Amino acid sequence: MLGKKLTRREFFKVGGAAAAGAAGLLSAKEATAFTRPKTKRRMAMLIDLRRCFGCNACSVACKAQFDVPLGVWRSWVITTERGSYPSVKRQFLPVLCNHCENTPCLKGCPATAIVRDENSIVQQLEGQCVGCGYCIQTCPYKMRFRHPTKNVANKCNFCSERLDQGLEPACVNTCNAKARIFGDLNDPNSEVSKLIAKNPVKVLLPEQNTHPKVFYIGLDESMYKKRAAVPEGKV
């Protein structure tokens, strides 16, 4: 026998209160307003799509820089076609980690293996990553992947190793059309700040409220919206 009698009504009252409490606790963090993280520099990339002609040199430079294995990519160029013959237009959209300021992957990582450095670059700490893959799921841009040999999450880091040596990211350095511009948003005299101030720029998936730091000039959102989730037979 169990001592004090608990009526069915009391039981459901207690259970209901506990359930409501749990729901409130879990949803509270979603309601938190976004405040921009304060960092010494805010490195960002501007991609002028009017200049990009889809040569994919950036994708190859990135592959070479980080020895990215076959089948996975840190940066690539989405290609779309618009219209019908004879008036057909091909468009190119280079994509990479957006180094969001409201960062779902960083918030979700259970091992604090994702950090924002002093340049406001979202860094993956490979030595700390447990490879759970939650960051891969939370990235709305699908820019993360599991490194096939290291078995940890991987993504673009704006070539931090090159930045430390005073160099530009490999993709920026290699771009023939000078479509990629890289710089500090905190510095009003940087080229990237000036161009963003002068031109109407857009970001990918603004409705996700991630505050990306990869900006585009001449972005047609339908290019990204039409991005198929998965090609036929690849599941």
Alpha carbon distances (Å) from 1 to 4, 6, 10, 137: 9, 12, 18, 48
The one among 55, 78, 195, 203 contacting another protein by CB under 8 A: 78
The one among 39, 49, 91, 211 contacting another protein by CB under 8 A: 91
Which residue has 């840190």 as its token pair?
74
- Closest approach, Cβ 95 to another protein, in A, equals 8
Choose between 148 and 191: whose C-beta lies nearer to another protein.
Answer: 148
If one asks whether residue 194 binds another protein (CB under 8 A), the answer comes out as no
If one asks whether residue 22 binds another protein (CB under 8 A), the answer comes out as yes
Choose between 77 and 201: whose C-beta lies nearer to another protein.
Answer: 77
The one among 57, 108, 168, 211 contacting another protein by CB under 8 A: 108
Write the CB contacts of 155 (distance below 8 Å, at least 6 apart in sequence).
Answer: 74, 97, 122, 124, 139, 143, 144, 145
The one among 116, 123, 133, 162 contacting another protein by CB under 8 A: 133
**From 116-124, 138-146, 165-173, 178-186, span contacting another protein (CB under 8 A):** 138-146
**From 39-47, 62-70, 129-137, 157-165, span contacting another protein (CB under 8 A):** 129-137
The binding track of 148-187 with respect to another protein, each residue x by CB under 8 A or -, is --xxxx----------------------------------
Rounded to whole angstroms, the Cα distance separating 184 from 194 reads 10
If one asks whether residue 218 binds another protein (CB under 8 A), the answer comes out as no
Instruction: Select from 116, 98, 93, 132 the least CA-distant residue to 217.
Output: 93
- Chain residues binding another protein by CB under 8 A are 1-3, 5-6, 8, 11, 15, 18-19, 22-23, 26-27, 29-30, 71-73, 76-83, 90-91, 104, 107-113, 128-134, 136-140, 142, 144-146, 150-153, 208, 220, 222-223, 225-231, 234-235
